[in-house]
Amino acid sequence: MSLQECKQLHSMAGKIMDLKNQLEVSLRDKSKPWTTVLDVLEGKTGVDRLFIFIGSVTILGLWLVFGYAGQLVCNTVVFLYPAYVSIKAIESPQKDDDTILLTYWVVYALFSVIEFFADLIVGWFPLYWLAKCIFFIWLMLPSDFNGSLIIYTKFIRPYFLKHEGNIDEAISSASKLLGKDK
């Protein structure tokens, strides 16, 4: 193994340890909704909450591939936590977290329209619900690598800015036609 390969391996190991540490901090954060559940499970089983989390994620992944009602399970995962956090953000006096949440919901809505063809996709791609779940978890990651911000910035925003005038005109025309704009 060359020195360069050793450095890359060491760098990757460092990133994995950073991710593990961030995960452990999040799993013990008293402000998170899962902390109480993990406290109880950890106390009753004697198993560290990190392993409980990893086991739960593994079971969820297997369920999404092989289990019954994968669509329902996936949609519950990708909706419940962001909805909970959004309600908390609405009720909080700080508004700095609202941009990330609004961005998530814009991408979620766009994906929901595209997903009209999900029944066709699932027949060709049996790992669809697992892939969708992983994709949406990436969209809601609380980090610089937040997928919803990346997709919004690179794809949705440029398209919106390019066509904003036409969209506004169409909405205005439709409003006049319906008699809403007097």
- 120-177 pLDDT, tens per residue? 777 788 888 999 999 999 998 877 778 898 999 999 999 999 999 999 999 999 888 8
Amino acid at 83: A
Question: How far is 64 from 72, CA to CA, in rounded Å?
Answer: 9
pLDDT at 60 over 80: yes
Please give the average per-residue pLDDT across 93-122, as a whole number. 84
What's the predicted TM-score (pTM) here? 0.73
Residue 45: pLDDT band by 50, 70, 90 thresholds? very high
Please give the average per-residue pLDDT across 36-62, as a whole number. 93
Tokens 């610089």 locate to 144
pLDDT at 181 over 70: no
- 75-102 pLDDT, tens per residue? 999 999 899 889 988 888 887 778 888 9
Question: 52 or 23: whose pLDDT is higher?
Answer: 52
Token duo for residue 27: 């799993």
| Sequence spans of domains, the chain | 68-177
- In angstroms, the Cα distances linking 82 to 6, 19, 38, 72, 123 are 39, 21, 19, 16, 28
Query: Which DSSP string do the residues of 30-54 spell out, in sequence order?
Result: TTSTTHHHHHHHHHHH---HHHHHH
